[in-house]
Amino acid sequence: MENLFRNYEEAVALILFSIGFMTLLFHKNLLRKLIGMNIMDSGVYLFLASMGYIYGRRAPIVENGDLSAERYINPVPASLVLTGIVVSVSVTAVMLSLSIRLYERYHTLDLDVIYAAARSRREHR
Amino acid sequence: MEFIRNFPFFSVAVFLFSAVICSVLKPRAARIWTTAAEAVVLAFSLSVLIYTTSGDTFFRYNMGHFDAPWSNQLRAGPVEALAATSFSYVLLMSHIGGIRYAKADIEPKKQSAYCTLLNLVGAALMALSYTNDLFTGYVFLEILTLSSCGVLVIRRAGRTALAATRYMVINLLGSGLFLLGTCLFYGITGHLLMEYIRDGVATLEVTGDYAVPLTVTIGLVCAGLAIKSGLFPFHTWMPDTYGTATPTSSAVLSGIVSKGYIFLLIKIIYRVVGVDSAAMTSARHILYVFGIAGIIMGSIWAMQSAHLNRMIAYSSAAQIGYVFVGIGLGGQAGFTAALFQIIAHGLCKPLLFLSGARLSEASGDSTEFADLQGAAHRNKPAGLAFAVGALSMVGIPTLAGFAVKLFFAAAAVEHGLLVDIATLTALALSTLLNALYFVRTVIRIYTPSGNAPTNGAFAPTDGESARTRDPGLIAAAVGLTAGILLLGLMPGVVSGIISRGLALFA
């Protein structure tokens, strides 16, 4: 329990991840699924960012020629977060365009209704 | 010879550049360019395969010439090169085999974009084969997901958008778990290069620190990749996805895309966690159980399908189960069987999808079994190709499927009685069910349609489209059949490369 409070950033990150994961898995509405995916990814980025930060150290930009590693935080998690953001933006864009196509075809974003419509139209290909 | 060490990087780079170039080319030029790129990468992969197997060696390639652990690294040994060769070969064959359908299924102004997407699929598969960095693995995993969604949804007909949405949602769940697992690996070991993580994991296992996070991490990574590759019960997207896409896309998605994820998983088992790690062993046992369930359930659903492409798709779920059973069995024999199955199924499934598409085209574009009666007489090459693929799936000797079953049986008998019985029973049931639905289909397409119970929807005639020659498909069918025969008649050659490679893989 003590560990949980000491690492509250990581704990919050994992709660966010779980909320996002469940939304992506169980929600019927496509847009909400998509929001769930973004919450899930944000949870991971918060986790990475909090893992990479060390209290009392500075951003990894060399100042006054001071090259000692102890002065700066680890820049790798930040670069991973940036890469992750790029990936999730592209995925969001693709999913949004798919949602538009589904909406144009079935006039709803509720996946259950869409499945029922596809079945009733006997679309098997 | 030293120059060959650049080829893994070139394989990725050629596909990436080719993807950019294709987006500005005219459709015909883009198709030719893409075929050339695929052939060049195949030649690169073959050279790396010959270089690494002849010398029984592997090499690392530091990007930007920074030394490890600061560099982003590629690593090529016999197993990686074999996977890359098989992926690029199947990509080339699926592409040329389905050109005719791609022309018909895809809007003219999007034909070049389709080539771009195929190149991106190729680049991602090459990167997954060769990368030695976990986060690079994640990035290319997502590139593979996005580009494979693109090749699926580019056919603007029927329920492709719905199938693609389903595919994406399942894949995003898997990606999320994998990403969290990767971050946890970085958190507890401080590294992203595979060997360095393994050293960290080995130290943690000795000291007993972070035991719970380590188990959770391994679970997350395994679950993520299993979901993405379509292991039972996460296979529900398969019938829609493979059944609705244009044949090249179905062939690529089922033949190599799902295998790319599994190859990364095998790499992680060997090189990130360590094949003998205790936590990994428990995870592999769970994968084994789901694999067995997948084999049986996939076969049962395939038998119940009323449509040809859905049947082939469900059979993919069963075949993915085989790979996971191999991973679960573990040991040299288990992983050899799993990798052999990755290659064998990668050759069979595209052959079935491509020839199946031609057979249904010769039957008034119907995929219902009733309409397919006599289809093999209306299009003889496609009928023959389908028969080869189907009999290989059943496991007839001289074809690749037989060797697969042989390797799995050999791997199973090395274990305890319970595992032995469970694996062999699953193999027997699967062979029986495969025989029931594939042989039934082969008999149906070879039964003359004179006494066909026509559904009224289609009266079988020698239509114009059925007689039209399709040299692309014939070339692909010959190429894929040659591969199946090579694996079936000389399984020792490939399994020898795999087992020698596995010794260097860790």
Q: Is residue A47 domain-resident? A: yes
Residue type, B290: F
Q: Is residue B286 domain-resident? A: no
CB of A13 within 8 Å of a chain B CB? The answer is no
pLDDT at B205: 86
Q: What is the largest CA-CA distance in chain B?
A: 74
Question: Which pLDDT band holds residue B237 (cuts at 50, 70, 90)?
Answer: confident
CB–CB contacts below 8 A, A to B: 93
Question: What's the mean per-residue pLDDT of chain B?
Answer: 89
- Indicate the range of B230-244, B324-338, B406-420, B466-480 predicted with least confidence: B466-480
Contact B173 A25 (CB under 8 A): yes
For B502, the domain range is 298-506
Contact B179 A21 (CB under 8 A): no
Non-local (6+) Cβ contacts of B186 within 8 A are A48, A51, A76, A77, A80, B134, B135, B192
- pLDDT more than 90, % of chain B: 57
Q: Closest Cα partner for B350 from B417, B446, B251?
A: B251
Contact A118 B179 (CB under 8 A): no
Q: Is residue A75 domain-resident? A: yes
B382-430 pLDDT per residue, tens: 899 999 999 999 989 999 999 999 999 999 988 888 888 988 999 999 9
Contact A98 B161 (CB under 8 A): yes
Please state the domain count of chain A. 1
Contact A102 B153 (CB under 8 A): no
Contact A95 B168 (CB under 8 A): yes
Q: Is residue B323 domain-resident? A: yes
Contact B139 A83 (CB under 8 A): yes
Q: Is residue A55 domain-resident? A: yes
Residue of B289 and B66 predicted with greater confidence: B289
Please state the domain count of chain B. 1
A84-95 pLDDT per residue, tens: 999 999 999 999
pLDDT at B323: 94
CB of B161 within 8 Å of a chain A CB? The answer is yes
Q: Taking each helix axis from N to C terminus, what angle separates B417-434 and B400-412, rounded to the nearest 10 degrees?
A: 160
B122-144 pLDDT per residue, tens: 999 999 999 999 999 999 999 99
Contact B243 A125 (CB under 8 A): yes
* CB B134, CB B272: distance < 8 Å: yes
pLDDT at B77: 92
Predicted TM-score of the model (pTM) = 0.93
pLDDT at B390: 93
pLDDT at B467: 54
Contact B165 A51 (CB under 8 A): no
* CB B261, CB B229: distance < 8 Å: yes
- Indicate the range of A106-120, B379-393, B463-477, B484-498 predicted with least confidence: B463-477
B243-300 pLDDT per residue, tens: 888 899 999 999 999 999 999 999 999 889 888 887 778 888 899 999 999 999 999 9
Question: Which pLDDT band holds residue A116 (cuts at 50, 70, 90)?
Answer: confident
Contact B179 A84 (CB under 8 A): yes
pLDDT at B457: 43
Q: Is residue B481 domain-resident? A: yes
Question: Which pLDDT band holds residue A123 (cuts at 50, 70, 90)?
Answer: low
Indicate which of A17, A22, A125 best probes the interface with B, i.e. most B CBs within 10 Å of its own CB. Answer: A125
Distance from CA of B367 to the nearest CA of A (A): 9
First-to-final CA distance of chain B: 24
| CA distances in angstroms from B74 to B7, B128, B137, B343, listed in the order given | 10, 10, 11, 22
pLDDT at B454: 47
| Mean pLDDT, rounded, for B103-118 | 90
Alpha-carbon dihedral sign for residues B204, B206, B207, B208: positive
pLDDT at B355: 92
Indicate which of B162, B240, B353, B455 best probes the interface with A, i.e. most A CBs within 10 Å of its own CB. Answer: B162
CB of B179 within 8 Å of a chain A CB? The answer is yes
Question: Which pLDDT band holds residue B464 (cuts at 50, 70, 90)?
Answer: very low
CATH of the domain at A37: 1.10.287.3510
Q: Is residue B454 domain-resident? A: yes
Of the partner residues B135, B146, B192, the one whose CB lies closest to the CB of residue A90: B146
- Quote the CA–CA distance of B241 and B376 in Å, as a whole number: 25
Question: Which pLDDT band holds residue B468 (cuts at 50, 70, 90)?
Answer: low
Residue B458 clears pLDDT 50, i.e. is over it: no
Q: Is residue B2 domain-resident? A: no
Q: Is residue A68 domain-resident? A: yes
Closest CA in chain A for residue B156:
A101
pLDDT at B475: 92
Residue of B247 and B467 predicted with greater confidence: B247
Residue B431 clears pLDDT 70, i.e. is over it: yes
- Quote the CA–CA distance of A13 and A91 in Å, as a whole number: 21
- Quote the CA–CA distance of B195 and B270 in Å, as a whole number: 10
Residue B460 clears pLDDT 60, i.e. is over it: no
Residue B186 clears pLDDT 80, i.e. is over it: yes
List chain B residues with CB under 8 Å of A76. 186, 192
pLDDT at B318: 92
Q: Is residue A125 domain-resident? A: no
| Residues in A 27-46 with any Cβ partner in B closer than 8 A | 30, 33, 37, 40-41, 43-44
Residue B453 clears pLDDT 80, i.e. is over it: no
CB of B153 within 8 Å of a chain A CB? The answer is yes
- pLDDT more than 70, % of chain B: 96
B486-500 pLDDT per residue, tens: 999 999 999 999 999
Q: Is residue B140 domain-resident? A: no
DSSP letter string, A43-82: HHHHHHHHHH--TT-B-SS--TT---GGGB--SHHHHHHH
| Residues in A 49-88 with any Cβ partner in B closer than 8 A | 51, 76-77, 80, 83-84, 87
B220-233 pLDDT per residue, tens: 999 999 999 999 88
Most confident of the ranges A63-72, B9-18, B309-318, B456-465: B9-18
Closest CA in chain B for residue A93:
B146
Q: Closest Cα partner for B263 from B174, B206, B327?
A: B327
| Mean pLDDT, rounded, for B370-374 | 84
pLDDT at B67: 82
- Quote the CA–CA distance of B443 and B439 in Å, as a whole number: 6
Contact A17 B180 (CB under 8 A): yes
| Mean pLDDT, rounded, for B1-7 | 88
Alpha-carbon dihedral sign for residues A44, A50, A53, A59: positive
pLDDT at B24: 93
Alpha-carbon dihedral sign for residues B230, B346, B360, B38: positive
Q: How many CA atoms lie within 13 A of A124 on its CB side?
A: 13
Residue of B464 and B359 predicted with greater confidence: B359
Distance from CA of A18 to the nearest CA of B (A): 10
CB of A103 within 8 Å of a chain B CB? The answer is no
For A50, the domain range is 2-120
Residue A124 clears pLDDT 60, i.e. is over it: no
Is residue B26 packed enough to be buried (19+ CB in 10 Å), middle (13-18) or exposed (0-12)?
Answer: exposed
Distance from CA of B242 to the nearest CA of A (A): 9
| Residues in B 204-243 with any Cβ partner in A closer than 8 A | 243
Distance from CA of A63 to the nearest CA of B (A): 22
Contact A87 B180 (CB under 8 A): no
